[in-house]
Amino acid sequence: MDNLLIKALNGDELSISRVLTKIEYMSEEGLKYLDELSKNSGKAYTIGITGIPGAGKSTLISSLIEEYTKSGNKVGVIMIDPSSPISMGSFMGNRIRMQDKTNLNNVFIRSLASRGHLGGFSSEAIMLIEAMDGLGFDPIIVETVGAGQTDTEVVSSVHSVIVVNVPGTGDEIQALKAGIMEIGDIYVINKADLPDAEVLYDAIKFAIDNGEWNGWKPSVIKVSALKKQGIEDLINELKMHKEYLIKSGKFEEITHKRRKEMIELILRRKINNVISIVVNENQNIFEENSIEKIINQLYDKIKQNL
């Protein structure tokens, strides 16, 4: 096995980072690494955390990291923030470093904030989940800002989705209106130390109690990420949801779906590259070629390039 990959598997932070970058870029080497790591993956429990900026997602993740590492887990974190040019990942890393130096060895945080060089975050996120899974990180936490396409895609690729709500932001009405109640497995009312937390709790609880659920009925939990209150309840709820997923066969189903999606995304990316090559090579596309000829060229190029 490749030296860099061996070092990454042994937990060397810089090597992990370099392996992940190669995978993200889908370089030939990167895809070989991904192949190798895939032999070892499919085990990790993946948790999505979504909510508006300022909801307290990062603070909450810091608390979750602390709890999970205490029980001996290696925690992977992927942060996706399409709107932010700055790297929240390193910001988070610093924050955790300040909080707890001892546990940091078992945490790896990757940010997709300043990336997106290949257009679209979801394929990168899904590949990173797979790679971190293969590197032995479990759980893997994926943070997204609660809006847009990326969010929906990422949310559908993880096992448990935590929606973070905060009092005083109109989340009560928003939650009920925007159909956000459909995506969460666990609803966290964060900043429960602030006034109006109770009102928000009641509104979301009401919406859930009046919904129709088969299988898992979403839970609502009051948390203060800042004051570290309710974190144990959240960990417990995650445990229960994970057990539910395993018993119902959904755990494996979600992992399988994620991996299929990853393969599809890689194939699409590759095919799109080949299509661009063929189209660019045919400047006077209609004058010199029939569509049939161009398709045959495409097949040839695919054979050469894949």
For binding to ligand GDP (CB under 6 A), which residues are involved? 51, 53-59, 190-191, 193-194, 224-226
Q: How near is the Cβ of 188 to ligand GDP at its closest, in Å? A: 10
Distance of CA 232 to the CA centre of its chain: 22
Q: Specify the residue, 190 or 255, whose C-beta has the smaller distance to ligand GDP.
A: 190
Q: How near is the Cβ of 74 to ligand GDP at its closest, in Å? A: 22
Q: Specify the residue, 11 or 82, whose C-beta has the smaller distance to ligand GDP.
A: 82
Q: How near is the Cβ of 79 to ligand GDP at its closest, in Å? A: 9
Q: How near is the Cβ of 260 to ligand GDP at its closest, in Å? A: 30
Q: Specify the residue, 63 or 123, whose C-beta has the smaller distance to ligand GDP.
A: 63
Q: Specify the residue, 26 or 225, whose C-beta has the smaller distance to ligand GDP.
A: 225
Q: Specify the residue, 41 or 144, whose C-beta has the smaller distance to ligand GDP.
A: 144
Q: Specify the residue, 135 or 189, whose C-beta has the smaller distance to ligand GDP.
A: 189
Dump the DSSP string for the chain.
--HHHHHHHTT-HHHHHHHHHHHHTT-HHHHHHHHHHHTT-S---EEEEEE-TTSSHHHHHHHHHHHHHHTT-BEEEEEE-TT--S-HHHHHHHHHHHH-SGGGGGEEEEE-TT--TTS-SHHHHHHHHHHHHHTT-BSEEEEEES-HHHHHHHHTTSSEEEEEE-TTTTHHHHHHHTTGGGT-SEEEE--TTSTTHHHHHHHHHHHHHTS--SSPPPEEEE-BTTTTBSHHHHHHHHHHHHHHHHHHTHHHHHHHHHHHHHHHHHHHHHHHHHHHHHHHH-TTHHHH--HHHHHHHHHHHHHHH-
Q: Specify the residue, 61 or 278, whose C-beta has the smaller distance to ligand GDP.
A: 61
Q: How near is the Cβ of 275 to ligand GDP at its closest, in Å? A: 38
Place of tokens 């300022």: 54
